[in-house]
Amino acid sequence: MAGKNVLTLTTTNFEAEVSNSDLPVLVDFWATWCGPCRAVAPIVEQLAGEFEGRAKIGKIDVDAEGELARKFNISSIPTLMVFKGGEVVEQVLGARPKSQLASLLEKHV
């Protein structure tokens, strides 16, 4: 469930879209049943529009993509990670305001 500028990330496209990206990538680990995740979703979509061309924004449904959730030790959602050069450079747990998520990503563009 991603907006037009938000990538739906899966085990199939993760390497191409995140690991091999020339741009920093904000990844939102979420689930449909998670209230705080639903609160963050519109913020993530706004950031995707605002950072278009400077960063990528993607979402990973932890229920559908358990392998990726395990790979990154996701034990609480929402978890948002910023990847740069294929490596995690920032991570925050829980719903955060747009200003905080924007400044988190701004540091890496």
pTM of the predicted structure, to 2 decimals: 0.94
Clarify whether 37 is annotated catalytic: yes
Give pLDDT tens digits for 69-109: 999 999 999 999 999 999 999 999 999 999 999 999 999 99
Which of 37, 41, 48, 77 is catalytic? The answer is 37
Clarify whether 39 is annotated catalytic: no
Which of 34, 43, 44, 62 is catalytic? The answer is 34
Question: Phi and psi dihedrals of 67, rounded to 5?
Answer: -60, -45
Q: How far apart are CA 89 and CA 106, in angstroms?
A: 12
Q: How far apart are CA 42 and CA 96, in angstroms?
A: 12
Give pLDDT tens digits for 11-40: 999 999 999 999 999 999 999 999 999 999
